[in-house]
């Protein structure tokens, strides 16, 4: 069987920092650390320099190779400049991991037009822009793997009222599948990880105003809502991402891989 090593490969992890100040690794950080632990040189990208630098520092501290870079996925010029720099400094891009995702509260009436645009700009257009910039470099290098992070909110109803988020992630799924077919002749695989309810620092920031007792009750409620009786972790998302990014998945493209403990069934 082909392995999951990424030695000699360059991985661009977009949103590899964390929006939360405390609470253990985020999905993006765990993916960056996992790629590095499997041999990749990781370019950790975030709109916040400190967030990107923290992840790169953690990788280097455990003996891996990483550099930090700043870019906002909403800004095509900033993304194009980033990809040019990576191509110049590292010569190739083998893995493009799109982790950035934001939400805004509201149903169809409550969601503001500004929030609708912002969420779609970040979650959907942002991935379009990173792929648009990185694909020519991957193509020139003989192929690669794109891993996009979606959500079970793209597939089914959820009690959280995040209409724009649901819509943007559903569009991300379909865009990814279409890109998978369009880029297959270039040996560029495009796959989607679909996390369910994960206990991450970002999720805990949504509950930041709760008392410790209220937070414990909310987390227990989330655990109970999962078929396995527990939420997933950032490492579950990272492990699935590694599979899709590596040669272990060399004939896998266009899949939506749920990492949700059965939630979406």
Ligand X SMILES: NC(=O)c1ccc[n+]([C@@H]2O[C@H](COP(=O)([O-])OP(=O)(O)OC[C@H]3O[C@@H](n4cnc5c(N)ncnc54)[C@H](O)[C@@H]3O)[C@@H](O)[C@H]2O)c1
Stretch that binds ligand X, among 5-13, 61-69, 82-90, 94-102 (CB under 6 A): 94-102
Contact 40, 95 (CB under 8 A): yes
Per-residue interface string for the shown chain with ligand X, residues 102-121, x marking contact by CB under 6 A = x-------------------
Length of the chain: 265
Let me know: does 10 contact 94? Beta carbons within 8 Å: yes
Backbone angles phi, psi at 211, to 5 degrees: -75, 160
Of all residues in the shown chain, the one whose CB is closest to ligand X is 101
Structure tokens at 238: 């990272």
Helices (H) and strands (E) in the chain, counts: 9, 7
Q: What's the closest the beta carbon of residue 188 comes to ligand X, in angstroms? A: 21
Q: Choose, by CB under 6 A, the member of 4, 5, 20, 60 that binds ligand X.
A: 20
Q: Is residue 18 at the binding interface for ligand X, with CB under 6 A as the rule?
A: yes
- Which residues are paired to 198 by β-bridges? 232
- The three-class DSSP label of residue 122 is helix
- From 3-11, 66-74, 132-140, 177-185, give the range in contact with ligand X by CB under 6 A: 66-74
Q: Is there a contact between 74 and 126 (Cβ–Cβ < 8 Å)?
A: yes
Report the largest interatomic distance among the alpha carbons of the chain, rounded to a whole angstrom.
54
Q: Does position 46 bind ligand X by CB under 6 A? A: yes
Minimum Å gap between C-beta 251 and ligand X is 26
- Of the listed pieces 14-22, 105-113, 155-163, 241-249, which binds ligand X according to CB under 6 A? 14-22
127-146 as b/e: b if 16+ CB within 10 A: bbbbbebbbebbeebeebbb
User: Near ligand X by CB under 6 A, which window of 41-49, 87-95, 138-146, 211-219?
Assistant: 41-49
* Closer residue to ligand X (CB): 40 or 234: 234
Find the catalytic residue in 35, 165, 207, 251.
165
Tell me if residue 165 is catalytic.
yes
Shortest Cβ distance from residue 185 to ligand X (Å)? Answer: 28
Three-point CA angle 40, 99, 118, nearest 5°: 150
3-state secondary structure of 247: helix
Binding stretches for ligand X (CB under 6 A): 15, 17-20, 26-28, 46-48, 51, 72-74, 99-102, 122, 149, 151, 195, 197-198, 200-203
Catalytic residues: 165
């Amino acid at each position: 069987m082909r392995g999951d090593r990424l030695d000699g490969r360059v991985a661009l992890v977009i949103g590899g920092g964390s929006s939360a100040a405390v609470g253990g690794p985020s999905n993006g950080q765990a993916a960056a650390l996992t790629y590095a632990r499997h041999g990749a040189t990781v370019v950790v990208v975030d709109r916040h320099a400190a967030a990107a630098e923290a992840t790169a520092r953690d990788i280097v501290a455990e003996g891996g190779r990483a550099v930090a870079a700043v870019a906002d996925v909403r800004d095509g010029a900033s993304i194009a400049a980033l990809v040019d720099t990576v191509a110049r400094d590292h010569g190739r891009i083998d893995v493009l991991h799109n982790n950035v995702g934001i939400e805004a509260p509201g149903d169809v009436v409550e969601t503001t037009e500004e929030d609708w645009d912002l969420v779609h700009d970040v979650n959907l257009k942002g991935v379009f822009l990173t792929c648009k910039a990185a694909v020519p470099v991957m193509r020139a290098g003989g192929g690669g793997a794109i891993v996009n992070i979606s959500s079970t909110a793209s597939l089914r109803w959820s009690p959280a009222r995040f209409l724009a988020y649901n819509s943007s992630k559903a569009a991300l799924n379909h865009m990814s599948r279409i890109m998978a077919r369009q880029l297959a002749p270039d040996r560029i695989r495009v796959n989607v990880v679909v996390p369910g309810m994960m206990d991450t620092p970002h999720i805990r920031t949504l509950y930041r105003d709760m008392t410790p007792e209220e937070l414990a009750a909310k987390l227990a409620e989330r655990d109970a809502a999962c078929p396995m009786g527990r939420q997933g972790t950032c490492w579950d998302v990272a492990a699935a991402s590694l599979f899709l990014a590596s040669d272990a998945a060399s004939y896998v493209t266009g899949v939506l891989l749920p990492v949700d403990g059965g939630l979406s069934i």
